[in-house]
A = this chain, B = another copy of it.
Amino acid sequence: MASERPPSPTRGSYAKGVARRQEILDRAIEVFAQRGADKTSLRAIASEVGVTHAALAHYFGSLEELLVAVYRESERKGGRRPVADPDVTPVEIMRISARENREVAGLVQLYSMLVASALEEGHPAAREFATDRFAQQREKLATRVRSNQRAGLIRADVDADAVAALVIAASDGLQTQWLLDPDAPQDAALTLLEDLLAGPQHS
């Protein structure tokens, strides 16, 4: 309790690196929000952060890994605590998530770019990011669907895994359409899906 003992010599020097990495990441997020996901090269970020582009490569390995880190960190910061109430529908979950993402400039664009890269060969970082994310989201939403079904909020005759995949796909796709054309019926389409899933008894 008195004086903090310094970390062991063999691993002590990690502290600075971790803090520095976080500092760079925070700045990179700002740069990203301002310049857009596309024009943000390693050199551009490095220049604005105040380091050389080689330093970024040192901390993050590659541009793509930096982009993944930026997205994960942006989402972590912008995201409120996960919705605890099990009676909230999957569509409402995606609605909340979409609203949060839209508040962070460039985040949806970055997500779209990462997913597109993941589809190409030779992009392991993006591929892993997208694959994991879809799998986790599908599992999380499927669990919620089953809970909703027990509570009578979602009709019992639909497959929970299919619903999860469908809701994610619809949410992603509608967000894209909305960015390209704000007149596209994003909310209406999402609400429609929600009503359809609620079953015949929906108000």
B-contact bits for A161-192, CB 8 A (1 contact / 0 none): 11101101111111011011100111011111
* Pairs of residues from A and B, 8 with the lowest C-beta to C-beta distance, nearest first: A169-B173, A38-B120, A116-B116, A166-B189, A162-B188, A196-B196, A112-B116, A173-B173
* A176 interface neighbour in B127, B169, B186, B190, Cβ under 8 Å: B169
Q: Which of A50-90 contact B (CB under 8 A)?
A: none
Q: Are A185 and B172 in contact (CB under 8 A)?
A: no
* Residues of A in contact with B, size category: 35 or more
Separation of A189 and B160 alpha carbons in the complex (Å) = 10
Residue A159 CB within 8 A of the other chain: yes
Whether the Cβ atoms of A119 and B123 lie closer than 8 Å is: no
Residues of B within 8 A of A165 (CB): 174, 177, 184-186, 188-189
Jot down 23 A-B pairs with beta carbons below 8 A, ordered by A: A36-B120, A36-B122, A39-B122, A112-B115, A113-B119, A115-B116, A116-B116, A134-B180, A134-B181, A159-B185, A161-B185, A161-B188, A162-B188, A162-B189, A165-B174, A165-B185, A165-B186, A166-B174, A168-B173, A169-B171, A169-B174, A169-B177, A170-B173
Scan residues 85-140 of chain A and give those whose CB is less than 8 A from a CB of chain B.
Answer: 108-109, 112-113, 115-123, 127, 130-131, 134-135, 138
Q: Find A159's partner among B174, B181, B188 (CB 8 Å cutoff).
A: B188
A46 within 8 A of B: no
